[in-house]
Amino acid sequence: MNSRRNFIKTSVFATAGILAANPLLTIAAEGKNKLEKFGFISGIARDAMKADWKGTLKKAAEFGFTEIEGGAGSADTPQEFLRVCKELGITPIGSGSNLVSMMKEPQRFFDEHNELQMEYVICYWPWEGGGPFMLDDCKKSAEMMNEFGAKAKANGLKFLWHNHDKEFHEMEDGLPFDYLMENTDPELVNCEMDIYWVKKGGGNPLKTLKKYKGRIPILHVKDMAPGPEQDFICPGSGIIDFGPIFKEAKKQGIEHYIVERDNEPDGIGCLKSSGEFLRNIRF
């Protein structure tokens, strides 16, 4: 009996040691759900895309990526980009720019997106200025986004805006993020929520996701490095607990998880480690 008890005890400690040595096994043991698909924003591998966009997409596909945001400018024509993506099993889902630029030539954006068979037009900066944002800024942005969203819908596209940390800094009447969500028409305007920037701004990504159920069809997935600077880092390498967020997202029917990491010096390396993390995470 003693030797059996010792064997069990030894086995438990050995298993714990293996899990501690390999975090991917730890996360794999946490739940039964997994991501059915995930993608990346082309800017994460900007240099690699410039040097060899076809080879970069091929590597991304090998790492498990099946969607891409942006990147069409790397090809000579939209048709060529779409053809190569389809051959590799990668779907272009959206792209965009800042709101001021998009408002100047909306039809150009719509035509380009439809040519690439994309679903989403994405506004990466929904502001006229650089912040901090006050109530008047929010009113202007909400009005412009409703206007642009209506035009996007008329062209068969869905319009999203992308948050940063400043939308979670208090203004004279609550948070800019809440104002934009509460004062835009859900039929015309929704959000591509960046998990890292919500946390960086002092918000709670999980609570935000629950609060705006049905308004967030895409999650931008990047991690936060430990330490006071709270820099961004490739998913799976930092301190953000993605499991509960992904679990809620799955419950809501969110299908798009896009890896992003600004100013990444090793785009291919980041895609490889991120792909491994997202393939193995269980929640």
| β-bridge mates for residue 158, sequence order | 120
Q: What is the DSSP letter of 183?
A: T
Residue of 240, 247, 209 whose CA lies nearest to 222: 240
Tally of domains within the chain = 2
pLDDT for position 10 = 36
Does residue 273 share a domain with residue 201? yes
Does residue 91 share a domain with residue 5? no
Does residue 129 share a domain with residue 15? no
pLDDT for position 15 = 34
Residue of 221, 219, 218, 208 whose CA lies nearest to 181: 208
Does residue 7 share a domain with residue 123? no
Does residue 166 share a domain with residue 94? yes
242-258 per-position pLDDT tens digit: 999 999 999 999 999 99
Does residue 260 share a domain with residue 174? yes
Taking each helix axis from N to C end, the angle separating 106-115 and 135-154, rounded to the nearest 10 degrees, works out to 50
- For residues 141-151, average pLDDT: 98
Per DSSP, helices labelled H in 155-259 are 176-182, 195-200, 205-211, 242-252
Does residue 127 share a domain with residue 60? yes
pLDDT for position 207 = 98
Which conformational region is residue 54 in: left (phi greater than 0), alpha (psi within -120 to 50 degrees), or beta? Answer: alpha
Does residue 99 share a domain with residue 119? yes
Check which CATH number belongs to the domain holding 171 and give it.
Answer: 3.20.20.150
Confidence class of residue 14 from pLDDT cuts 50, 70 and 90? Answer: very low
- Give me the domain span that covers residue 273: 33-280
pLDDT for position 115 = 97
- For residues 53-72, average pLDDT: 98
- For residues 173-184, average pLDDT: 97
- Whole-prediction pTM value? 0.89
Does residue 69 share a domain with residue 207? yes
Does residue 21 share a domain with residue 89? no
CA distances from 250 to 34, 37, 196, 207, 256 (A): 9, 12, 19, 15, 10
* Rg, the chain, Cα only: 21
Q: State yes or no: cis peptide before 132, omega within 30 of 0.
A: yes
User: What is the full DSSP assignment across 100-135?
Assistant: HHHHHSHHHHHHHHHHTT-SEEEEEE--SS-S---H
Residue of 103, 16, 67 whose CA lies nearest to 254: 67
Residue 128: is its pLDDT beyond 80? Answer: yes
pLDDT for position 30 = 65
- For residues 202-218, average pLDDT: 98
Q: Which long-range contacts (CB under 8 A, 24 or more apart) does 224-231 make?
A: 224/196, 224/199, 224/200, 230/199, 230/200
For the four alpha carbons of 79, 47, 106 and 254, in that order, the dihedral sign comes to: positive
Does residue 136 share a domain with residue 18? no
Does residue 213 share a domain with residue 113? yes
Confidence class of residue 16 from pLDDT cuts 50, 70 and 90? Answer: very low
